[in-house]
Structures are given as C-alpha cells and as structure tokens.
C-alpha cells in the first residue's frame, strides 16, 4: 500500500541537517540539536550534531511529502499508520510519537 | 497554445463562455485565479460537455480595478467558484453576488501576493535556527538563512 497516512521518524538516522525544516512549506517541523565533540575520533577529533528534539505539528502538516523526499538519510518515511488526536496539542508529535508511526516494513 | 486552451480579452469573457455552452460545453470543471504579479490576476475556467470528454480551458487576465463579467448565466455551476475567487483573490464579478463568507485574519484577499498571512507573521521561521552553532562564528562561514521565497520575492 502506498497511501499517505502520516510521516514517521527514525531518529537514529537523523543528522539534524535542517533540510526538512527549511523545505517544509507549512512550517510544521521543528528540531533542536546539540553539538558533541569526540576528541578520540582522529587527530583533531570530530564534532557531530546530536538530535535533542524533533516535532511535527500534524495540525499544520499537509502530507505533501517534501520532507520525505529531501531527507538525505531517509530518516523520515511515509507511514501507513493513521494519526489522529482528540485535542489540538496532541497533534504535535515528538521523537517518541513519530517513532511509533514507523511501520514494521519501514524500520 | 492548443485548441483546448484559449486566451480571451476581458470584454469577451462572458460572450466566449456563451459560445462554449452553445457548442455543448455546459459544465464547469473549475474556475479559479492566480495572482500573476504587477497587479494582474489571471482567471481561468475549464468547461466540458456532459460526458466530460470534450473540454476546453479558457483564460483571461484582468487588472486590479477591473471587473469581470459573470458566466453564471450560461454556466450555473460557476457560481460557487466565482464567489470563492472573489473571496480568495478579490476579483469583482458583474453582477456582484458576494463571496462564500470566508473570514480570515486580514481584510486583504489571502491569495494575493501582497497579503501578509498572520500565521507567517506570528511565528519565527523554524529554519532560521542553526543547531550546534552559537552565532559567534565568522560571518563569512555562516550565511544568514532566509525563508525560501520571501515576501519581497513574491511581490516582484
């Protein structure tokens, strides 16, 4: 099946590159990350971004799929699991909520 | 432009629609408009026959202060679309039957380029932040982030 029920996040693949946030026409994605320096990685060490929070506001999302298309690591995936909420604040999903939307075939 | 796409002057809009109806294209698939810039709005409609197989797209371009003759007389199905276009783009149809009652957060028609949407003004663009950077780096290295297609670009 290929219908678009919602969008899930595999947080372990996200590099916090911000491409999805900047491409989203509905401004519904927000993320924050912290820079972590690993001094033991190579002669000068290596800095990486560690994802702290990632939210999609499904009250704004229009399922256009641009974020899924532009994600360079395929961390964002279309999900067949429908997403619904009884109150407006519950439409804002964080890392844990978005992880639950990743179907078994996508993980 | 193919035979199935026609551009007509504003003053021939209604007459052209009547001709289409006489040729059997009596149904309205849609009627909508686009703000093409420089204060002009392109209005287009797709008309088809009862089977839907024979269709034509008709366009016209009007200025901000011009009125457009309604085609409801020959195509009653255009009524809702004309009201919607009136609300969303501020197009004045003649005779004027008003809009569909859309109420936004601004008096300006929301699909005009010059209209600033409240939802965009109230919130800071999420993409403006730069995770892991404190803003103290050389300005040469970090280019300022701007919303793609900002309002200055829209109105030009």
B12 secondary structure, DSSP code: G
Give chain A's contact residues with B (Cβ, < 8 Å).
Answer: 16, 18, 21-24, 27, 29-35, 47, 49
Which of B131, B133, B145 is closest, CB to CB, to A31? B131
Averaged pLDDT, B69-96: 94
Model pLDDT, residue B2 = 45
pLDDT(A2) > 90: no
**Encoded tokens for A90:** 């519950």
Q: What is the mean pLDDT of residues A56-78?
A: 93
For B137-147, what is the mean pLDDT?
A: 58
Q: How many C-beta neighbours within 10 Å does residue B13 have?
A: 20
- Interface contact B130-A18, CB threshold 8 A: yes
Cα separation, B108 vs A5, whole angstroms: 34
Q: How much is the pLDDT for A1?
A: 43
Average confidence score pLDDT of chain B: 84
Contacts of A47 in chain B (CB under 8 A): 132
Q: How far apart are CA B5 and CA B116, in angstroms?
A: 32
| pTM for the whole structure | 0.65
Largest CA distance in chain B: 70
Each residue of B58-69: pLDDT tens digit?
Answer: 999 999 789 999
> What would the mean pLDDT of B11-38 be, rounded to a whole number?
95
pLDDT tens, B118-136? 777 777 888 888 887 665 6
- Supply the pLDDT for residue B123: 79
The per-residue pLDDT for B33 is 95
Q: How far apart are CA B51 and CA B36, in angstroms?
A: 32
Q: Would you state the pLDDT for residue B107?
A: 75
Q: Name the more confident of B37 and A97.
A: A97
Task: Read off the pLDDT of each residue in B106-126 and give the average, rounded to a whole number.
Answer: 80
The answer to whether A11 and A55 are in contact (CB under 8 A) is no
Query: What CA dihedral angle connects B122, B123, B128 and B132, to 10 degrees?
Result: 140
Distance of CA B1 to the CA centre of its chain: 21
Q: Which position has the higher pLDDT, A10 or B152?
A: A10
Residue B148 has pLDDT above 70, yes or no: no
Confidence band for B1, pLDDT divided at 50, 70 and 90: very low
Report the pLDDT averaged over residues A57-76: 93
Note the Cα B144 to chain centre separation in Å.
32
């Amino acid at each position: 099946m290929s219908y678009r029920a919602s969008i899930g996040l595999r947080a372990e693949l996200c590099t916090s590159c911000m491409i999805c946030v900047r491409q989203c026409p509905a401004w519904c994605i927000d993320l924050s990350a912290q820079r972590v320096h690993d001094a033991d990685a190579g002669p000068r060490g290596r800095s990486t971004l560690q994802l702290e929070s990632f939210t999609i506001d499904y009250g704004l999302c229009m399922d256009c799929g641009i974020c899924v298309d532009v994600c360079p690591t395929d961390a964002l995936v279309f999900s067949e699991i429908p997403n619904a909420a009884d109150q407006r604040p519950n439409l804002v999903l964080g890392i844990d909520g978005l992880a639950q939307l990743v179907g078994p075939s996508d993980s | 432009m193919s035979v199935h796409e026609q551009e007509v002057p504003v003053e021939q809009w209604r007459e052209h629609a009547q001709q289409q109806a006489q040729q059997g294209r009596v149904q309205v698939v849609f009627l909508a408009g686009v703000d093409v810039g420089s204060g002009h709005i392109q209005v287009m409609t797709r008309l088809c026959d009862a089977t839907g197989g024979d269709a034509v797209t008709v366009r016209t371009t009007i200025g901000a202060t011009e009125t457009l003759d309604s085609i409801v007389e020959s195509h009653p199905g255009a009524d809702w679309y004309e009201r919607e276009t009136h609300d969303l783009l501020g197009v004045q149809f003649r005779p004027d039957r008003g809009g569909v009652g859309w109420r936004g957060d601004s008096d300006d028609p929301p699909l005009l380029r010059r209209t600033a949407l409240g939802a965009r003004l109230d919130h800071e663009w999420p993409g403006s932040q730069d995770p892991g950077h404190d803003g103290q780096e050389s300005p040469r290295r970090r280019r300022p982030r701007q919303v793609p297609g900002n309002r200055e670009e829209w109105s030009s």
